[in-house]
Structure 1
Amino acid sequence: MDDAQSRPLSLLALPSYLARHVARIGHLLLVDALAEHDLRLPHFAVLTGLSDFGPLAQHDLADRLGLNRSHLVGYLDTVEQRGPIRRERDPDDRRQRVALTAAGVELQQRLQQLAQDSQRAFLDVLTESGRSTLMELLGRVLRANGG
Structure 2
Amino acid sequence: MEDTRSRPPSLLALPSYLASHVARIGHLLLVDALAEHDLRLPHFAVLTGLSDFGPLAQHDLADRLGLNRSHLVGYLDMVEQRGLIRRERDPDDRRRQCVALTAAGMELQQRLQQPAQDSQREFLDVLTESERSMLMKLLGRVLRADGG
Bin for the TM-score computed over the shorter chain = over 0.9
SS in 2 for 1:97: strand
- 1:58-95 Cα shifts (integer Å, max 9, x gaps): 11111211222221111111001111111112221122
Aligned-pair CA distance for 1:130: 0.8
Code of the residue aligned with 1:132 in structure 2: it is S
- 1:11-46 Cα shifts (integer Å, max 9, x gaps): 111111111110010011111111111111110111
The residue that corresponds to 1:108 in the other structure is 109
* Cα separation, 1, equivalents of 2:71 and 2:80: 14
Code of the residue aligned with 1:20 in structure 2: it is S
Residues 53-64 of structure 1: matches in 2 within 5 Å?
53-64=53-64
User: Which ranges in structure 2 are unaligned for 5 or more consecutive residues?
Assistant: none
TM-score, normalised to structure 2, is 0.93
Identity %: 90
Provide the aligned C-alpha RMSD in A.
1.2
Code of the residue aligned with 1:118 in structure 2: it is S
The residue that corresponds to 2:118 in the other structure is 117
The residue that corresponds to 1:66 in the other structure is 66
1:52 paired to 2:32 = no
Work out the number of aligned pairs and report it. Answer: 146
TM-score, normalised to structure 1, is 0.94
The residue that corresponds to 1:27 in the other structure is 27
* Cα separation, 2, equivalents of 1:101 and 1:10: 49
SS in 1 for 2:93: coil
* Cα separation, 2, equivalents of 1:16 and 1:76: 31
Aligned-pair CA distance for 1:146: 2.7
